[in-house]
Structure 1
Amino acid sequence: MTMTTDSSNFSAKSSLRDTLLPHLRPALTIVPGIALATIIAFGANLMRGIPQIATFSPMILAIAIGIAVRNLVGTPSSVRPGIAFSMRRLLRFAIVLLGFQITLTQLAAVGAKGLFIVAGTLVATFVFTLAAGRALGVERKLTELIAAGTSICGASAVVATNSVTEASDEDVAYAIACVTIFGSIAMFVYPLLPRLLHLDSHAYGLWSGASIHEIAQVAAASFQNSQRAGEIGTVSKLARVLLLAPVVLTLSLVTRFTVQRTREQSARPPLPWFALGFVAVVAVNSVITIPGGAKSAMISLATFLLTIALAAMGLETDVSKLYAAGLRPAILGALAFLFIASFSLVVIKLMG
């Protein structure tokens, strides 16, 4: 009787193992890559404790560390599945969670005029960058990434846009380098200009929020002027972040239409569901009072997941391919930066 029971138990366990293993193996293959990207993300957050580095976002630091690891040490094949998972699934989930940063009430604080300035500057900058990219002979996909990063919200916009553009990891790294460099320049130069340009706190905050690349850079530049400028700058920047969803959706529809016209039906890119999820989270966040602790946790999780995704992109980036792109994309990034800074300033002045 005992032998029969033992045999039955062994058979049941074997059957359960045979059933579960095929499902567990794919999940286990992504663990090494996710673990490596997560370790880099933790390191990037720890590095922000260094005063000279604190002005850079953990996302920027993570991609820099990832690039260093890839090109100085190398990445084994065992981490590739997890890196790919981090760059796609984790990234898209993080972008959905970014919606917890924004409520429609916050956007109302900018006013109709301010929102018009922010939206108008974004559209004008995106269109200008696309045209300038064509004139300079910069590859279309890289041009779109630089346009998105400059006009919307820096590294987050670059990686979100790439879900539709599907550029190489080197193009993503190049675009992020552009928006990081020129956004950092703005962060240090802008606080020197309000008096020279005759900008009060409200106008200066609006200018900062409408034209500087990263949220952290906007906060650093605008709060140096005053609390009022910092608040207006932050909310103006969040209005730009909200426009990430319609821009990505528009790019997706344009891409699908273009591919459809060439009759490559099977190659049509899917609609970016995460952009719709982002809008849905903003709507929920606007009508439901979410406890401060829970909201803060969601925003922190979104930032950390984005940091993991950027670390993964760094681990896939070959520096030699960045050099091969040449200086023209950097020139494009500079022109886009100068355009968004000057265009937004002129519009703010004209609209009072």
Structure 2
Amino acid sequence: MSSLANAAPQHRLARFTRHVTAVTPGLLLTAAIAAASIALHALPGAANLSPMLLAIVIGILGHNLIGTPAWAMPGVKLSLRRVLRFAIILLGLQLTTDQLIEVGGEGLAIIAATLLATFGFTTWLGRRLGVERKLAELIAAGTSICGASAIIATNTVTRADDEDVAYGVACVTVFGSAAMITLPLLAAPLGLDARTFGLWTGASIHEIAQVVAAAFQAGPDAGEFGTIAKLSRVAMLAPLVIGLGMLARARLRHAPGSAGHAAPPMPWFVLGFVAMIGVNHLVAIPGGVKSEIVALTTFMLSMALAAMGLETDLRKLAARGLRPALLGLAAALFVASFSLTLIKLTGWHG
């Protein structure tokens, strides 16, 4: 009996060792691409390019020009799953409940209404344009919440192709960058004060970095409030992804011929995201430590996007055509105009 008892731990150790050996090369590859993307982001003139965007571009170029080697695939897939989910959990440490309180009930209502309306409009228009449902959902999530992070989080339940994810990331990057340039030019003609402009940018621009770049052009008060408003919007990622997971499971249960198909997993990792918001509220994390956590989160999200790129075939991406791009443009125009209309109608001034 003792020999059998000793054999079980040895077998588990051997299996673990084989797993580590299999995934390490691919993890190192995605980590190297993430490091390169962060280094490129630090170059003059590249500050407005998200490291996540740069990582997926490098991954796509590598896959389509050279090919993703078979020895890297286990680690690439791990980056797309475990690394991604842990990064989204860490994203919660960038938020506190105090920040949500600072935005106020009316401000949060404007952000939430804009999110729901944008998601609903984008998925509805996607159907009218003939855009495949999964791709439309990814563009809707990226536009209504937080760009690439929302797209890859939503895809844990949407289960779209990697080419759909790449297309969605491209849409939110292009149209979010356009909003980042355009909205500051409209602040004075629209008569927006600093905090009102901050709320508008936080409620409508796609990526956190794009919001920061746009809002601070109207001064530090606008920049700080825009960042807080955007982070409040990011907090709504958790209920949206859980809700989409429940819809996906219900859709599969009622679909004909669905027997034998695995149901989309419930995204329980977003509860970890919510828990980290609570931890950040209760525990005073030193500024230096928080900066390191933000950097680690960006690095891990860039690893996930690098992995996505390493599985993306440009020929399949091109086959999606221009209709999803038109959907991304329409969604960007809707989120900006709808949020501004609510701000004006409510007379919100912070």
After superposition, residues 237-248 of structure 1 pair within 5 angstroms as: 237-248=230-241
8 Å CA contact 2:146, 2:234 repeated in 1 = yes
8 Å CA contact 2:158, 2:264 repeated in 1 = no
Matched, 1:50 2:38: no
The answer for the alignment partner of 2:4 in structure 1 is none
1:195 partner SS: coil
What is the CA–CA distance in structure 2 between the aligned matches of 1:267 and 1:256, rounded to whole Å? Answer: 9
Q: Which has the larger radius of gyration?
A: 1
What is the CA–CA distance in structure 2 between the aligned matches of 1:286 and 1:49, rounded to whole Å? Answer: 31
The answer for the alignment partner of 1:280 in structure 2 is 275
8 Å CA contact 1:59, 1:310 repeated in 2 = yes
What is the CA–CA distance in structure 1 between the aligned matches of 2:174 and 2:270, rounded to whole Å? Answer: 27
Q: Pick from 329, 337, 349: which aligns with 2:332?
A: 337
8 Å CA contact 1:259, 1:265 repeated in 2 = no
What is the CA–CA distance in structure 1 between the aligned matches of 2:334 and 2:9, rounded to whole Å? Answer: 62
Q: Deviations over 1:107-128 (max 9, x none)?
A: 1111111111100100000000
8 Å CA contact 2:145, 2:234 repeated in 1 = yes
Mark the runs of 5 or more structure 1 residues left unpaired by the alignment.
Answer: 1-13
State which drifts further: 278-287 or 210-219.
278-287
TM-score (normalizing by structure 2): 0.94
Report the residue type matching 1:227 in the other structure: P
Q: Pick from 211, 224, 230: which aligns with 1:218?
A: 211
What is the CA–CA distance in structure 1 between the aligned matches of 2:11 and 2:195, rounded to whole Å? Answer: 65
Report the Cα offset of residue 19 of structure 1: 6.5
Report the Cα offset of residue 330 of structure 1: 0.3
Matched, 1:159 2:152: yes
The answer for the alignment partner of 1:140 in structure 2 is 133
With over 3 angstroms needed to count, the CA separation of the structure-2 counterparts of 1:80 and 1:108, relative to structure 1, is same
The answer for the alignment partner of 1:201 in structure 2 is 194
Q: Pick from 309, 312, 318: which aligns with 2:307?
A: 312
Q: Pick from 279, 297, 305: which aligns with 1:302?
A: 297
The answer for the alignment partner of 1:67 in structure 2 is 60
Report the Cα offset of residue 284 of structure 1: 1.7
Report the residue type matching 1:101 in the other structure: Q
Equivalent residues, number? 339
Report the Cα offset of residue 255 of structure 1: 1.0
With over 3 angstroms needed to count, the CA separation of the structure-2 counterparts of 1:124 and 1:19, relative to structure 1, is closer
Q: Deviations over 1:248-306 (max 9, x none)?
A: 00000111112222364752222111111101111121122223333222222111100
With over 3 angstroms needed to count, the CA separation of the structure-2 counterparts of 1:16 and 1:106, relative to structure 1, is closer
With over 3 angstroms needed to count, the CA separation of the structure-2 counterparts of 1:18 and 1:277, relative to structure 1, is closer
Mark the runs of 5 or more structure 2 residues left unpaired by the alignment.
Answer: 1-6
What is the CA–CA distance in structure 1 between the aligned matches of 2:214 and 2:313, rounded to whole Å? Answer: 32
1:197 partner SS: coil
TM-score (normalizing by structure 1): 0.93
What is the CA–CA distance in structure 2 between the aligned matches of 1:320 and 1:266, rounded to whole Å? Answer: 28
User: What RMSD over aligned residues (CA atoms) do the two structures have, in Å?
Assistant: 1.6
8 Å CA contact 2:34, 2:303 repeated in 1 = yes
The answer for the alignment partner of 1:120 in structure 2 is 113
